[in-house]
Structures are given as C-alpha cells and as structure tokens.
Amino acid sequence: MTRIAVLGNGRVGGSLAKALTQAGHEVTVADRTPGAASSAAQTAEIVINATPGAGSLERLTALRPELEGRILVDVSNATVDGPDGLPVGLTHSGSSLAEQLQDALPRTRVVKTLNTMLYTVMTAPAALGQAPTAFLSGEDPEAKQTVSRMLGDLGWQREWITDLGGIETARATEAAILFVPHVIRTSGFAPFAISIAR
C-alpha cells in the first residue's frame, strides 16, 4: 500500500483516485479548497498532478516545501485551447510542463506519464482493441520504477510501458495532445491512446 495524493478532482483525478483506492492504496483527493492540496501532499509518498495543465505550474510551485522528496506524477498537458475548448497549441513552446515543473521543484522527482490517452484509458488500458502505450519521462530511475509499479496496479502490463528517458522527452508526449481534437472530431469521445507498434 502506498500513500497517494491526487491533486484535482475532475474526471481524470476522480478516475485515478477510484482505481488506485480499489487497488489497495491509501488515496487522498485534494480539491480547490484552501489548504487541501498542501495537507494531502504532506502525507503522501506519491503526488499525482491531475489539475488543469494551464495552471499546474503556478499551483504546484506554491507547494514546493510539501513536495520536497516526493514523487510527482504529472499526467496533465498545458495547452492553448481554441473556441471549442479543444487544444490548438502548447503553453510551453520549446519545453514542456513536466520540464517546467522539474525546474521549479528541484527536490521533487517528476515523472511524466499517462498524458497521451483519453482519461478512461488511464485506468482501463485493456479495454482497447489493441495494446496502448504508457510513456515515462523523468530524471530519477527509481521514481520511474515506482511509477511503473503503480501503473501495473492500474492494469498496465509491463510490455505496454515505455521509458523514454529524461524529463526533456516529455516534450514529445505532451505534443501528442495536438492529435486529440482531430481524433475527437472524426471519432467522437471513444477511448483511444497513442500506441507504439513493434
């Protein structure tokens, strides 16, 4: 059992919290109530950033003391959205949200993952017609191993998880969000994920 704090109680955060609780972890969900995120992060071993990406950097930088020494799993994408609310660009051009978080939180081990799929796939990868891929980006090998085990608890088989390397590789996976509006317009909100075929 791992103590996990989920920051954000929307569809992504709620889905992850429910699945991780069912897997036997001790999960706390922090909403926008003042002090909730700080309290949750202080007692957790793993903190999951499921807040809207555009405001994630500011919110998490404010939690620097609480996040020190923790593993921060970043599943968000920081995007510039169009009139229909779907992404048309990336907030951190030439960088990534994950890199910005790691720079702002040098004593926190940031791992980027689960950001290349519709949120329903995060907790039910086997429901797709073919195997999806969960990518890992981060500087700390031990943290990535811990996150891989957590993904296993969510139903991700080991061969479905690909470690891309350092945190700078999150630029590639975050850019994959730009596929989303086109996929949704052609196929609707049916579950989908980016997959590497070998």
Q: pLDDT-based confidence at 13, cuts 50/70/90?
A: very high
pLDDT of residue 57: 96
CA distance 124 to 113: 15
Q: How confident is the model at residue 70 (pLDDT cuts 50, 70, 90)?
A: very high
- Contact 88/81 with Cβ under 8 angstroms? yes
How confident is the model over 11-33, as a mean pLDDT? 96
Residue for token pair 């990518």: 135
Read off the pLDDT of each residue in 125-150 and give the average, rounded to a whole number: 97
pLDDT value of position 196: 92
Q: pTM (2 decimals)?
A: 0.95
Return the structure tokens found at 149: 């085990």
Mean per-residue pLDDT over the chain, rounded: 95
Q: Round to whole Å and give the CA distance between 179 and 124.
A: 21
